[in-house]
């Protein structure tokens, strides 16, 4: 069963259902009124027939013929809401024949019907027009026959009027239903756009965004208040988390730096080779810890979106080309290739952050793609987006790890023996989000392919 899942589809479905209901009601009205009018005509014919037969029994056949001639040539009198029916203002038509079938009175019925009821009897009206009537025929005691017919023109016109009323009603209902559903759809769409815009801003890292409230107290306002309360709570938790991690990293840098200086002092005064080697290893470990905390602070700073205040128009192609050339010697030393295909694209951004993002991805290829893995980097403009693609032909990663590698401190090496702290790609994603862009791993024939999309038309914050 087809169920529309869009506001436009629901509007069309609602208007269609309303139209079908009106059509059904119109058809029912026509059917009921048609049969009611037919029953009224039959009742009038029966009363007229009984009156004529009683008149013949009381006054004789000659008087009946005279009465039929009189009524056939004049008005029929009131027939309730069927009065003034027919083209000439008459409803009742007559014919009287003798036992030999000769017409005695009434000449509006070309062909005499068999005794009983006839629903569709061809007739000839006084103005010469032809029509259809429902008729009642009765045999007479002398072998003759009398026919009384009711012109169905009034019935046809009543059906036409009801049909026209139903069609007009259908048009009005469809018009008002379509207008109301379109208005309702636009109202819902407008509120959903506000909600989706807020959600998109939060996805981009702006946790201060809130859903607008118009103060109407509607269901949308109530759900917006609830969602805003939830978003406020999430914002507080995220701020607390960033502050805690940042404070820890900041507070640890000072004592670690002091310890490192003390170690360097001890190293200069050490005379024993074993102590010297121990101090050197300790200093290397201290440097690694300092780099780790510096990376954590860097990610927190970028995620705070303060960098957007420094955004200026810049050529992404120049930034990528500069970083690529800087890393080309490192690839050449390992007998690996780095291929670049760069087009001119202008975006709003921070040059140093973008350079760091590209450098981190190239560092990731050097460290984790595997021996002999080459790199390919490209920049193209697609619509209102700049698309930066960085790929390699290395060993790749499992599909279930494609989201994990963007998390802080995540390293896919179970032994954690390779250099690094698992912050490189986390920093890349934070930089991309700060530029209102997206980063994803797209399927490739081998290795790993990162695709970054950054809007080219973006206002400076």
Q: What is the pLDDT of residues 347-399, one digit of tens each?
A: 888 888 888 888 888 888 888 787 888 899 999 988 888 999 998 888 777 77
Give the pLDDT of the chain (461 residues) as one tens digit per residue. 556 667 667 767 777 787 788 778 878 877 888 888 888 888 888 998 999 999 999 999 889 888 888 887 544 443 333 344 444 445 678 889 988 888 888 877 777 888 999 888 888 776 777 888 888 999 998 889 999 888 887 778 877 887 787 788 778 877 877 787 778 778 888 888 888 888 877 776 677 788 888 887 778 888 888 888 888 888 777 677 666 666 666 666 677 777 878 778 877 777 777 888 887 888 877 777 666 666 656 666 666 666 677 788 888 889 889 999 998 898 888 888 888 888 888 888 888 888 888 888 888 888 878 788 889 999 998 888 899 999 888 877 777 777 777 776 666 655 444 555 567 788 888 888 888 888 888 877 778 889 999 888 654 44
* Structure-token pair, residue 217: 């107290």
CATH number (domain holding residue 272): 1.10.287.130
Q: Whole-model pTM?
A: 0.47
350 and 375 assigned to the same domain? yes
Question: Phi and psi for 319 in degrees, rounded to 5?
Answer: -65, -50
Alpha-carbon distance of 180 to 175, in angstroms, equals: 8
Q: Choose one of 114, 138, 160: the last residue of a domain.
A: 160
Are 266 and 324 in the same domain?
Answer: no
Number of neighbours of residue 5 by Cβ within 10 angstroms? 7
Same domain, 139 and 27: yes
CATH number of the domain to which 383 belongs: 3.30.565.10
Dump pLDDT digits (tens) for 2-35: 566 676 677 677 777 877 887 788 788 778 888 8
Same domain, 150 and 223: no
Hey, what long-range contacts does 167-172 have (CB within 8 A, 24 or more apart)? 167/26, 169/22, 169/26, 170/19, 170/22, 170/23, 170/26
Residues 156 and 22 in one domain: yes
Q: What is the CATH number of the domain that holds 131?
A: 3.30.450
Q: Which domain holds residue 107?
A: 7-160
Q: 318 and 406 share a domain?
A: yes
Confirm whether 74 is domain-assigned: yes
User: Are 28 and 141 in a shared domain?
Assistant: yes
Same structural domain, 338 and 425: yes
Instruction: Please report where in the chains the tokens 């509007």 appear, as a residue.
Output: 11
Residue with tokens 């005509």: 41
DSSP string, 261-295: HHHHHHHHH---HHHHHHHHHHHHHHHHHHHHHHH
What is the SS3 assignment for 328?
helix
* Contacts of 277-286 spanning 24+ positions with Cβ under 8 A: 286/256, 286/259, 286/260
d(CA 130, CA 386): 80
> Looking at the DSSP assignment, which residues form a beta bridge with residue 122?
132
pLDDT digits (tens, 9 = 90+) for 153-192: 777 887 788 778 778 877 887 787 778 777 877 888 888 8
Task: Please tell me whether residues 45 and 155 are part of one structural domain.
Answer: yes
CA dihedral 186, 188, 191, 193 (to 10 degrees): -70
Exposed e or buried b for every residue in 105-130, given b needs 16+ CB within 10 A?
Answer: bbebbeebbeeeebeebebebeeeee
Q: Clarify whether residues 228 and 241 are in a common domain.
A: yes
Q: Which H/E stretch holds residue 259?
A: helix 219-269
Q: Is residue 280 located within the same domain as residue 420?
A: no
| pLDDT the model gives residue 145 | 92
Placement of tokens 């790993």 in the chain:
448
**Residue 3 and residue 17 in contact, taking contact as beta carbons nearer than 8 Å:** no
Q: Tell me which of 303, 335, 350 is where a domain ends.
A: 303
Q: Are residues 92 and 119 in the same domain?
A: yes
Q: At which residue do the structure tokens 């007479």 appear?
A: 140
């Amino acid at each position: 069963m087809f169920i529309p899942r869009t506001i436009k589809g629901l509007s069309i479905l609602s208007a269609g259902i309303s139209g079908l209901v009106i059509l059904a009601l119109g058809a029912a009205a026509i059917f009921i009124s048609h049969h009611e009018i037919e029953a009224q005509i039959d009742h009038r014919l029966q009363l007229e027939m009984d009156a004529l037969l009683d008149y013949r029994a009381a006054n004789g056949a000659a008087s009946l013929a005279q009465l039929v001639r009189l009524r056939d040539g004049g008005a029929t009198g009131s027939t309730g809401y069927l009065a003034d029916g027919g083209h000439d203002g008459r409803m009742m038509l007559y014919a009287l024949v003798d036992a030999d079938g000769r017409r005695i009175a009434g000449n509006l019925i070309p062909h005499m019907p068999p005794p009983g009821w006839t629903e569709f009897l061809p007739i000839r009206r006084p103005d010469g027009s032809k029509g259809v009537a429902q008729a009642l025929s009765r045999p007479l005691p002398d072998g003759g026959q009398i026919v009384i017919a009711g012109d169905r023109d009034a019935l046809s016109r009543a059906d036409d009027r009801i049909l026209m009323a139903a069609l007009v009603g259908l048009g009005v209902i469809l018009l008002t239903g379509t207008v109301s559903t379109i208005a309702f759809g636009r109202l819902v769409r407008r509120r959903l756009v506000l909600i989706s815009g807020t959600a998109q801003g939060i996805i981009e890292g702006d946790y201060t965004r809130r859903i607008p409230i118009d103060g109407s107290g509607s269901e949308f306002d109530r759900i917006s208040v609830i969602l805003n309360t939830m978003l406020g709570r999430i914002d507080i938790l995220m701020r607390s988390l960033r502050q805690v991690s940042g404070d820890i990293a900041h507070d640890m840098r000072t004592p670690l730096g002091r310890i490192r200086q003390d170690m360097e002092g001890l190293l200069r005064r050490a005379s024993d080779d074993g102590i010297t080697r121990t101090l050197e290893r300790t200093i290397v470990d201290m440097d690694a810890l300092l780099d780790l905390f510096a990376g954590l602070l860097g990610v927190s700073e970028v995620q705070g979106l303060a960098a957007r205040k420094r955004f200026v128009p810049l050529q992404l192609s120049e930034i990528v080309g500069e970083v690529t050339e800087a890393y080309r010697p490192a690839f050449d030393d390992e007998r690996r290739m780095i291929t670049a295909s760069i087009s001119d694209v202008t975006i709003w951004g921070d040059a140093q952050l973008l350079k760091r993002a590209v450098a981190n991805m190239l560092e990731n290829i050097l460290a984790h793609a595997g021996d002999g893995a080459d790199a390919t980097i490209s920049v193209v403009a697609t619509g209102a987006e700049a698309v930066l693609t960085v790929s390699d032909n290395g060993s790749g990663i499992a599909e279930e790890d494609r989201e994990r590698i963007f998390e802080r401190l995540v390293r896919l090496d179970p032994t954690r023996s390779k250099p690094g702290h698992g912050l490189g790609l986390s920093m890349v994603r934070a930089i991309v989000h700060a530029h209102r862009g997206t980063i994803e791993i797209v399927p490739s024939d081998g290795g790993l392919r990162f695709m970054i999309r950054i809007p080219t038309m973006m206002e400076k914050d």
